[in-house]
Amino acid sequence: MDHREPATTWSVVPLRPEHVPAAVEVHRHAFPGFFLSFLGPRFLREFYNSFLADAAGIGLVVEDDSGRVLGTVVGPLRPEGFFGRLVRRRWWALAAASLVSVLKRPSIAPRLLRALVYRGDPPPGPPRSLLSSVCVSPRAQGKGIGAALVRAWLHEARTRGSTGCYLTADADDNESTNRFYQGLGWTLESSFVTPQGRRMHRYVLDFHAPRKAA
């Protein structure tokens, strides 16, 4: 008798309000040592809700056949002004959400202020959409979920009129992530160092208009 569990199926669907709590938990488990995770679940809820509240937001999740969220991807179609609008609309909620973290570590206050107006360090050239974050639950990694999320986000951005996209990723001790994006067709455009001393790679992926028939 075969005692193996049946294969789990999953699908990519638009981010909805009921997904946000699970998206926050996936983010925290996928990125336990990162800055947004340190700011806590209340701040992350504001972050993910911003992609629902703003018309320029693009958010998608992967659900399994029982409705569990296994991964998320978010980013603004037009990053110019996106996070500024978030601060203007929800400054009081962001302040309350980050207060405990700032009290624990006051030195993060300048970095928090920079994060609130972050545009992803855009490359020169035409405006591009920003892939802000993609994360997959540790228990669901290795199933192609991350690649499916990125491809679906790119498709949505292109469908909504974007001519190209960009993202940033840590350059050091991050070989698998960099290979992941390169394998999906992203091009390393440049590298830079953040005010915190992190060396970052910036990738671009531009869409090309189909050739017109002769």
* Res 202: pLDDT: 96
Cα–Cα distance, 94 to 86 (Å, whole number)? 9
Residue 208, φ and ψ in degrees, nearest 5: -110, 130
* Largest Cα–Cα separation, the chain: 65
**Domain coordinates of the chain in residue numbers?**
10-206
Q: Give me the pLDDT at residue 210, please.
A: 46
pTM of the model as a whole: 0.84
CATH code that applies to domain 10-206: 3.40.630.30
* Residue 109 identity: A
Amino acid 39: pLDDT: 79
Q: What is the CA radius of gyration of the chain?
A: 18
pLDDT averaged over consecutive 10-residue blocks of the chain (214 residues)? 54 97 96 82 90 95 95 94 75 60 56 56 90 95 96 97 95 96 97 87 85 46
Q: Using an 8 Å Cβ cutoff, are 140 and 29 in contact?
A: no
Q: Residue 56 is encoded by which pair of tokens? A: 């320029």
User: Residue 122: what pLDDT?
Assistant: 85
pLDDT at 214: 44
Mean pLDDT score of the chain: 84
Give, in degrees to the nearest 5, the angle at Cα 127 between 153 and 95: 70
The residue among 68, 70, 58 whose CA lies nearest residue 26 is 70
pLDDT tens digit string along 91-110? 556 666 565 555 566 564 55
- Short-list 53, 166, 163, 50, CA closest to 117: 50
Cβ-based neighbours of 205, under 8 Å, separated by 6 or more: 154, 164, 165, 166, 184, 185, 186, 187
Long-range contacts of 17-20 (CB under 8 A, 24+ apart): 17/49, 17/52, 19/61, 19/69, 19/72, 20/45, 20/48, 20/49, 20/52
The residues near 83 (Cβ < 8 Å, ≥ 6 apart) are 50, 76, 116, 117, 118, 119
Q: What pLDDT was estimated at residue 63?
A: 96
E runs forming strands in 132-186:
133-136, 164-170
Q: Angle 81-181-204 (CA atoms, 0-180°, nearest 5)? A: 45
